Amino acid sequence: MSAWTLRLLLPALTLIAGSACAGEAPPRAAMLEAHGDVVHDRKTDLTWQRCSHGQRWDGTARCTGEVLRLTFDEAKALEADGWRVPTLDELKSIVVKGRKPTIDSALFPDTPPAYFWATGDRDTSLSWYVYFDNGIANHYFPPRTNRDSVRLVRSGRWRGLVACCVVAASQPSAGQPAAPLPVPDGSARFIARADIVTDRLTGLSWQRCSVGQRWQADLGCVGIAKKVWFAEARQLESAGWRLPVLAELQMLYGADLASIRDTTAFPDAPDTGYWALGDREEAAVWGVSCDESRADSCYRGDARAVRLVARTPAGGLRTK
């Protein structure tokens, strides 16, 4: 058995809800659990209404009735009891590329291949949408008077949903993991221990998950990565944890700066820019994967993800 296979099979089994079971890491689809008229996503810890607004769950396998199309303000007026219009990143998390409509129709039946409203990730008063004909999210603000479909969401579990037994090593949310980068002695470069990853080549410790996510051994990085303005990103620095400089952040990425090199050490990274500091001038603002997947200067008012870094002390990994 290869060392790479062993990395996928570890860590140790996890016992949940008083029952033990064994198996491989759940694929993305297995993390979505239908419970009557709602679907809980264990990966993002979001609960979705199974039917588009205007439809009703028939108790078996269909959403009946007409999908209502509302203006953005009408959609926002539906928010109550924790149910709300999803953010753009939240709505993108249930897109399934290669299908039409681009969603799991067994979990979300009778979904039209139409535009669905979303809010801004940083400013929920802004209007966005995802087109479930091709899964594309818009990158401009559509008129709030457009009439589009709505699927409401809420954070956390709903109606007493109980987790079943899940035992697995964490793995990337999609695609095959890249081979771990070697260090000069031929061993793996990144050493992951729970929610912290040590880079043996640079001596840096990285938070394994983006800010807004949390590490869970059986699922990887759970939740939606938080996007913040640059000033807010600087306020997250504490106890030795800081924003990386551009050169440090780039070392986590492939040559195209579009994807994390080691997706086992750093699973579930969002497809968005990350804040970093300029190499020579700390006042400079930089990001990775900004504007067409390249390192570039970024506007300080952009909302981008954050992954903090710290220098690894001689005694071992830093703790948060």
DSSP 27-84: PGGGGEEEETTEEEETTTTEEEESS-TT-EE-SSS-EESPPP-B-HHHHHTT-BTTBB
**Does a cis peptide bond (omega within 30 degrees of 0) precede residue 86?**
no
Structure-block tokens of residue 194: 């729970």
- CA–CA separation, 308 vs 156, rounded Å? 25
- Exposure of 185 by Cβ count < 10 A (0-12 exposed, 13-18 middle, 19+ buried)? exposed
Q: pTM of whole model > 0.95?
A: no
Q: Residue 119: left if φ>0, alpha if ψ -120 to 50, beta else—which one? A: beta
- Half-sphere exposure (Cβ direction) of 283: Cα atoms closer than 13 Å: 0
- CA–CA separation, 109 vs 154, rounded Å? 19
Q: Tens of pLDDT along the chain (320 residues)? A: 333 333 333 233 232 333 333 334 457 777 888 888 899 998 888 999 999 999 988 888 899 999 999 999 999 999 988 899 999 999 999 999 889 999 999 999 999 999 999 998 888 888 999 999 998 887 566 788 999 999 999 988 764 333 222 122 222 233 333 444 555 555 788 899 889 999 888 889 999 999 999 999 888 899 999 988 888 888 999 888 998 888 788 888 776 666 788 888 998 888 777 888 875 555 455 555 444 444 555 667 778 889 999 986 544 444 44
